[in-house]
Amino acid sequence: MKSTQTANPFQGVGKMNRLNNRVFTLLVWIIGAAAILFIFGLLFLILEAGLPNLTWDFLFGLPSEIDEGGGIGPTLINSFYILGISLIIAIPLGMAAGIYLAEFAPDNKLIGFVRICVEALASVPSIIFGLFGIALFVEFFQIGLTILGGAVSLAFLNLPVLVRVTEESLRAVPKELKSASFALGGTHLQTISRVLIPAALTGIVTGICLVAGRAFGESAVIILTAGVTTSGEMWDFNLFSPGATLAVHLWYVQSEAIVPDAQQIAQKAAAVLVFVVLFINLVFRIPLWLKARKMKG
């Protein structure tokens, strides 16, 4: 850099700063735009290959082992069934634990330890819950690969996420709301159920949607605890029948099955999976968006 008569010591710095800033801005814009384009491309790729070819026969038909034209009926039912059971178990437990950590827990070493436990459990790989499920249900209770085992293992997998989401959403509620409720003479339970949870609902529902989507697509746990086959009947709600879900079926068709139309089945199954996950997210969030808009207006 050549020296000038004015000898401004910050001149070079200013130029470098501006250059840095410009390069940085450009880089971030490129990466951001590329990421957004990539996401849309990905969703389009999955949905476009499968959705136009869907038929009712495929959605509710029985899978076939050898011939062409097998459906995904039982696996689709199982997916929703297992998801439902696991959420029924995990939501009350997870929310209660989250409420405890956010509201009741004293700030001491023990609670710090509990928090670490929750965090550790949240980072435990899903396959470990699968191994745990095998040891618990197949070995200890001797009930084999069942829908029940899969659903309970899945609930354990989702529990820590729900705890964290509930705790964080409750903590994000402004202190004034809580104080106002106490000042009006509300008990702690009333404050939590009528003030804090409604105020934190957006965060909690978003968390539940994420968890539900994850549980719907989870496959490692289900393969280990509910198996890769179904009972072969439609509308089988027996808790003790084997319960392969749609996600497991996608893997099975893609890597193990010998049906000639595996490629088409995989395409359509992937499209259905993604569609349902998107659907879960939209249906639960639209009311929240509307509510947020109403409160603003």
Instruction: Give residues 175-234 in contact with another protein (rule: CB under 8 A).
Output: 187-190, 192, 206, 209-210, 213-214, 216-220, 223-224
82 with 148: CB under 8 angstroms? no
Which of 110, 237 has the CB closer to another protein?
110
DSSP 30: H
In the complex with another protein, the residue whose CB is nearer, 2 or 296, is 296
In the bound state with another protein, the residue whose beta carbon lies nearer, of 101 and 204, is: 101
- Cβ proximity to another protein: between 34 and 180 the closer is 34
Among 124, 180, 283, 290, binds another protein (CB under 8 A): 124
Closest CA to 98 of 167, 195, 12, 171: 167
User: How far is residue 193 CA from its own chain's centroid?
Assistant: 25
Q: Which of 36, 37, 88, 143 binds another protein (CB under 8 A)?
A: 36
CB of 210 closer than 8 Å to CB of 58: no
Give whichever of 58 and 216 is closer to another protein, judged by the CB atom.
216
Question: Shortest gap between Cβ of 93 and another protein (angstroms)?
Answer: 5
Alpha-carbon distance of 166 to 211, in angstroms, equals 12
Interacting residue with another protein among 51, 62, 93, 205 (CB under 8 A): 93
List the one residue from 8, 11, 12, 29 that touches another protein (CB under 8 A).
29
The residue type at 53: N
Q: Name the minimum Å distance from CB 156 to another protein.
A: 6
Positions 233 through 292 that interact with another protein (CB under 8 A): 247-248, 250-251, 254-255, 263, 266, 270, 273-274, 277-278, 280-281, 285
Q: CA–CA separation, 81 vs 239, rounded Å?
A: 9
Q: Residue 100 interacts with another protein (CB under 8 A)?
A: yes
- Spatial neighbors of 202 by CB under 8 A, at least 6 apart, are 169, 288, 291, 292
**Is 81 near another protein (CB under 8 A)?**
no
Q: How far is CA 33 from CA 38, 40, 43, 45, in A?
A: 8, 11, 16, 18
Part in contact with another protein (CB under 8 A); list of ranges 58-66, 156-164, 194-202, 236-244: 156-164
Q: How far is CA 128 from CA 47, 59, 146, 153, in A?
A: 31, 31, 17, 10
Strand, helix or coil for residue 243: strand
* Residue 230 β-bridge partners: 243
Q: Binder to another protein among 58, 81, 137, 156 (CB under 8 A)?
A: 156
Q: Choose between 35 and 180: whose C-beta lies nearer to another protein.
A: 35
Q: Return the range that interacts with another protein (CB under 8 A); candidates 57-65, 70-78, 128-136, 176-184.
A: 128-136
Nearer to another protein, 172 or 180 (CB): 172
According to the 3-state scheme, what is the secondary structure of 174-237?
Answer: CHHHHHHHHHCCCCHHHHHHHHHHHHHHHHHHHHHHHHHHHHHHCCHHHHHHHCCCECCCCCCC
Per-residue contact track with another protein, 136 to 155, x per CB under 8 A? x-xx----------------
Cα 19 to chain centroid, rounded = 41
Q: Which member of 20, 53, 55, 238 binds another protein (CB under 8 A)?
A: 20
